Amino acid sequence: MDLGLAGRTVLVTGGSSGVGLATVRALLAEDARVATCGRDAGNLDKAAAGLGAGPDRLYTAVCDVRDADAVHRLVDGAADRFGGLDGLVNNAGQSRMKRLADTTPEDWRDELDLKFSSVLNPLTAALPLLRASAAAAVVNVNAVLAKQPEPRLITTSAARAGILNLSKSLSAELAADGIRVNSVCLGLVDTGQWERRYTASGSVLDYDAWQAELAADRGISLGRLGRAEEVAYAIVTLLSPRASYITGTSIDVCGGVGRGIA
């Protein structure tokens, strides 16, 4: 099926690694034009070089999504290059492994700031362009944690729940502008985040065995971590004009780690 994304422009935040990079790759494969960002220029350049897309298809800029002015410059740069924007994937971010006992007030502020500004800054900057698109869609990359909190990720779980709630409000308010807003809720996906945790764990197991143990410990029905491209396909589907009647919802991409029915 033709997803109808050819020639459309999508901004994917955090496209230098993991889910963001896989999403950029999947969109380029659909002949979309893609803008993306990350904080580390070296990682961004390396990712862009690996994608093999020219400047007519790919725009990259160093940008921290917590910085509203920098995000405005990113969106303006993408609009100058491509002439508009049809989609936004709010993906940039990371989680915080902390329990209440070792969480400081600063941790709470930082986590809430990251989670909310990583959605609100790009959305605010992109809104005039999305309103002008004939088929605008926003996808917020969230986590199953939003619905199934874990005490070892207390700040992230709470912030994720807030973002899922926010996504629903945005979908209702922006429907009048023809902008659809949906979420994907991830379980455990094998990306830079888990590689860093494996390294920090000092485990004697090799990476595959460590992942298998992790999957068993977390009760993942499919018995393994997800792959970034498996998330990317769900994101691309939600961005597609073929999903024109889907808004205000979320898709779990979690291998069955979610315990809820929805």
Sites for ligand NDP among residues 106-145 (CB under 6 A): 141, 143
Measure the CA–CA gap between 183 and 20, rounded to whole angstroms. Answer: 14
Among 26-34, 119-127, 162-170, 186-194, which window interacts with ligand NDP (CB under 6 A)? 186-194
Map residues 83-102 to x or -, x wherever contact with ligand NDP holds by CB under 6 A.
--------xxxxx-------
In the complex, minimum distance from the CB of residue 19 to ligand NDP, in angstroms, rounded to a whole number: 4
Measure the CA–CA gap between 129 and 76, rounded to whole angstroms. Answer: 10
- Residue 39 as a binder of ligand NDP (CB under 6 A): the answer is yes
- Residue 64 as a binder of ligand NDP (CB under 6 A): the answer is yes
User: Residue 201 has which token pair?
Assistant: 């764990």
10, 20, 123, 181: which one binds ligand NDP (CB under 6 A): 20
Among 25-33, 35-43, 50-58, 170-178, which window interacts with ligand NDP (CB under 6 A)? 35-43
Residues that bind ligand NDP (CB under 6 A): 13-20, 37-40, 43, 63-66, 91-95, 141, 143, 186, 188-189, 191-193
